[in-house]
Amino acid sequence: MSQSIEITTEYITLGQLLKEVGVIDTGGMAKWFLSEHEVLVNQTDEKRRGKKLYNGDEIMIEGAGTFVVSSTQQ
Could you give the domains of the chain?
A: 2-71 (3.10.290.10)
Please tell me the predicted confidence (pLDDT) of residue 31: 94
Mean pLDDT computed over 7-21: 95
Please tell me the predicted confidence (pLDDT) of residue 57: 97
Nearest partner of 2 among 24, 15, 17, 12, judged by Cα? 17
**pTM summary value:** 0.92
Q: What average pLDDT does the structure give for the chain?
A: 94
